[in-house]
Structures are given as C-alpha cells and as structure tokens.
Structure 1
C-alpha cells in the first residue's frame, strides 16, 4: 500500500512541474531571451606542504668539486653543514630541515634516490645521497619540509623528505669530459658517455666515471680521495617502461673535529685542534688528523618498471640493493690491557716502560690537553 502511494506522489509532482514550466515559458522568453547556462570547471592537484625543489641555476652555482648536498643549501628551511667546501668528510656533515637533523648520530629526515629508499643516512651505519650520485649526474632535488605521507619511501624518521634524482640518458649521443682544480690541492676529473637512442629507438643509456681529491683547510695534511662509477639505462620492452641504475663509490677521508664550546672557537676559530705531525707521544697523537678517517665503499643498484594500466592509472614496481662496507678510524690515547684485564689495576694503558710494563701516571702529573672529549686528565 505504501509503495503504491509513493509512486503516485512522484507522478503528481512530475505533472505539477511540467505545468509550471508551461506557464513560465512566456516569462523566460520575454525577460531573458539570451540567457545561457554557464559551466564552471574546478581543477585540483595534490600539493605537499612547504615543498620546494632545486633548479638548474642553483646547480650551476656550485662547483663540480662540491658535494651534491651543497645544492639544497640554497633552499629556504634547509641547512647543510660540512667540514669543508668539498663535502669530503661525512663525519662532520649534517643536514637540517626545519630543525630535524641527519648528522653523526641522528636520522630524522628521509632521503630517497629516484624515489627509492637509500637505507640509513647517519654516519654510524648508513650513507647520504652524496655517496650514490655524482654531482654532474644529479637531476632535480625535491625537498618536502612537512611530515611526509605514506607515499614517501624512506627508512628514516620523517621530519621531512629529500628526494635526489639522477639525470635521464639523452636522446642524442654525447661525450662529455671536465676537469676542475682549486685551493687545498683540490682536483676533479669527470667523463660521461650518453649513447642516445640505439637501433631499436627505445633504448638509451649513459655511463660515467669521476675521481677527485683534496687536502684539508686547517693543517693541509689530509689525504682525501673519492672514485665514483655510475650508469643508467632506460628502455621500453613488453609494453613496460624500464629504468635501471647502478653506482659504486670508494671514499677515503680524513676527518675534521668539531668545536665543543665558545671558548674553543675563541681560542682559534680557524682550527679544529687536530694536528698534522706524528710525535710518538700518545696523548698528543690522539689528535693526529691522518689517524681520524672514514674509509667507505658504497654501492646501489635498482630496477624499476612502470606501465599504464588504463588512462589515469599507472602501476610502478621496483627492486633495489644497497651495500655499505668500511670503517671509521680514531686513535685513543690508550690501549686496552688485554693480558691483565680483570686483574690489573690499570686496564687502560697509556704508557709503558722499555720492557712493556704498564706505567701509572706520576703523582701530580696532569695533561695540558683538554681536547677532544675532555682530553686526558692525567
């Protein structure tokens, strides 16, 4: 019964509207003969809060000898701290995005390489993008300063995201070589070959090789070297767009030490208090620069495939592998007395006599070295 009533009500309303329209036709034609229906189109796009990216002009401001990290230092809200102008020392390198840090022990900013995770990015067990991308192979660097969303493929805490991209192979064949020379014995040699499209008109690639070196700006005794190989390929096969990338980086760096107080800076703002000469005295040689080092080999390889399933919907998948091998060197002013450990009253040995017997400090003998980490108290 209710169903029948509803159907009848709808029919009545429809009829009433039709009658109303008939009576109104004359008024419409009289008052608004040229009236037209306007169409409003609203377009929307995804926008990440407080995002920015580097430009080609920013890249050209930096010398090829510098680290790729130096390019993002030009963006608002981003600060890069490096021990020298070359970015040779990862120990002293830090990246801050609106107060969030990636440095010696913190990794609060996400880093991706061509949209793929780069693993950890602090000094202790990871690597930043400068280990995987050569400066002259870098593309746009995308910086998202807000908390990243689920689409950010990063292993780090997300106080922001840095996506470092690599240049795509050129459509035309090209050979490029460059050489750079600068202060503090800095030099860099770089070469790259772009194949252009091959015979199938679908495949193109590039390969590059670079080597660079420099000393430090304090004592000019550091031996810093870096050798880098990279290659990238793009092709279309089986209706899928494929991208492959591989890089290998071999770095030997002598470190800079941090200043720990305003007094350290006031004493000598141009010195990090590491020394350039080996004296044979353990308390002094703990500050020997060549004994402070970062020796690392980093490699990255990935393969990505992308296919448009239908208009507006793309499917993308990728596999990747990172390898990090090496060590960090530091010379303490003591050795562990392994032979007598647990029974000796001096488990840490700083001095021995000619027979190798550990010696205790002379009463009242106090070291004048207060750096680093508080120096030696006796």
Structure 2
C-alpha cells in the first residue's frame, strides 16, 4: 500500500509541474507580444530644422496683430463720417467723438489698451501725419474724405519703431486712398440730419486716357454743434492723378481743407 501511495504523489507532482510550465510559458509569450505591439504603437518620428535667425524664430519682422476696415465697410458708413471714427469698428479701439460724424476735433478721444490718441501714429498713403492734436496738429480727417479711402489697417499693440510715423510708441493706423478708376464716371452723396446738418460730396473720374487717369472730389459740410453754441463748416477738395508707363508710374495728390469748428 505504501508503494502505491508514493506513486500517486509523484504523478500528481509531475502533472502540476507541467501545467505550471505551460502557464508560465503562455504568460511570457503574451507579455512579449504585448510589449512588441506597444513598441510599434509608441514609435514617434520628429522632423525639424534649426532656426538661427532671431527675427524668423520669434517673428519680430512681421506684424503679428493687425486689423482692417475694408472699402465696402467704409462706403456703407454714413456719408461724411471721419476716418478717425471708423476705427471704432475695430476690436480694441475705444473711440469717443463729440458728434455723429466725429469732425469736432476738440471732442475726439481714442484709447487703445493703455495708449491715447496723442500716442498713436497715423500714415496716409505711406506719408506720416503729424500730431493728432487740434492745436497745431494734423488729424487724419483733414486730409481725406471717407469716400476716397480704400482701406484702413491698424495695429492695436505697440507700433513698429521703424514705421514712418510721428508717434511710433503706440498703435499705428495706416490709411490708403483709392487709385483713379480706369472707367469714366462720378459719384454724388448727400447727407441731411439733425442740428441743420447738410453735406454734399461730388467726385468725377476721367477714366483711362492713354495711361493717364485722375479724379477730383469736393465735399461741403455745414452743421451746428449738437451741444452748446457753435458750428462746423468744412470744405474739402481732393485730387489725384496717375500716369502709368511700362512697369512704372507717376502719381500726384492734391488736398485742400478749409475747416471751421467753433
């Protein structure tokens, strides 16, 4: 009986050992397969290039935040509104004017972040404007009518120190006038409003004549101040001539402004 009992014990031990080896082998095989799949899935390839120029790396030679008022938006605004007041359509520009048109120079105020109107720079067709103050300054709306503007591009952040402006510390607003049309034509706009507001705008286009084309416009604005005594009387004349020959061109601009606002 003792010999027979020992034989059973040995058989059970042998069977348990074989099963254990099979389980360990299958677990090891499964673990190796999982690790191989994980290595295949986690494989990442990165391709890059070294940038040694600072202006390219951080973008110092590019305008990173610019806003624009298009030609369609300028024409959809009420006739006679100043180019300065059009900036209120841009995010970040807080424009306050003493009147609907924004022509009263002593009542205009612009704030962009921490900058004020006197810290802003204005450019018209690449020509820097002077100070925006009413006394001795050169506000932008003295030099252009809204109907003759093609676009207004502004940067609400700090301006480029290399930009051709009187004040380059604060934001810069660049105004561009339209070129004379290649087709002969004209434009007439009439505005009537409260406080005896009357404004007329007339523009004539010569069309293309052997490479030469030009336009001339005149606007006349008369209105009472909306608060207190005083009037706004403005007569503005603009003319632009363009002659193209080959890949070159010659352009001349004339502006006359007679303004009385007190």
Q: TM over 0.5, yes or no?
A: yes
Corresponding residue of 2:126: 115
Structure with greater helix share of residues: 2
Counterpart of 1:235? Answer: 243
2:124, 2:174 within 8 Å by CA — same for their partners in 1? yes
Q: Distance in 1 between matches of 2:155 and 2:236?
A: 28
Preserved CA contact (<8 Å) 1:121 1:156: no
Provide structure 1 residue ranges, at least 5 long, that are not aligned to the other structure: 1-43, 255-378
Give the aligned partner of residue 188 of structure 1: 199
Structure (1 or 2) with the larger CA radius of gyration: 2
Deviates more, 1:147-156 or 1:44-53: 44-53
- Deviation of 1:236 (Å): 2.2
Match for residue 258 of structure 1? none
C-alpha contact (below 8 Å) 1:180/1:188 kept by paired residues? yes
Aligned to 1:99: 114
Aligned residue number for residue 63 of structure 1: 78
**Residue 244 of structure 1, CA deviation:** 1.6
- The one of 90, 96, 99 equivalent to 1:75 is 90
1:150, distance to aligned residue in structure 2 (A): 4.4
Partner of 1:253: 261
Deviation per CA, 1:66-120: give whole Å up to 9, x if none: 2121211110011212111122310111222222111xxxx21111111111122
Say whether the 8 Å CA contact 2:71–2:149 is kept in structure 1: no
Aligned-residue Cα RMSD (Å) equals 2.0
What is the aligned partner in structure 1 of residue 175 from structure 2?
Answer: 164
Once superposed, which parts of structure 1, at least 4 consecutive aligned residues long, lie more than 3 Å away?
A: 44-47
The one of the two structures with greater contact order (alpha-carbon pairs below 8 A, sep at least 6) is 2
Answer yes or no: is 1:206 the counterpart of 2:215. yes
Q: CA deviation at 1:145?
A: 2.0
Distance 1:148-1:218 versus aligned 2 partners, 3 A rule:
closer
Change beyond 3 A, Cα 1:151–1:73 = same
Structure 2 unaligned runs (5+)?
1-55
Aligned with 2:87: secondary structure?
A: helix
Secondary structure of the residue aligned to 2:203 is strand
- Aligned residues of 1:48 and 1:146 also touching (Cα < 8 A): no
Q: Select 1:144's aligned residue among 155, 158, 174.
A: 155
The question of whether the paired residues in 2 share the 8 Å contact of 1:62 and 1:70 is answered with no
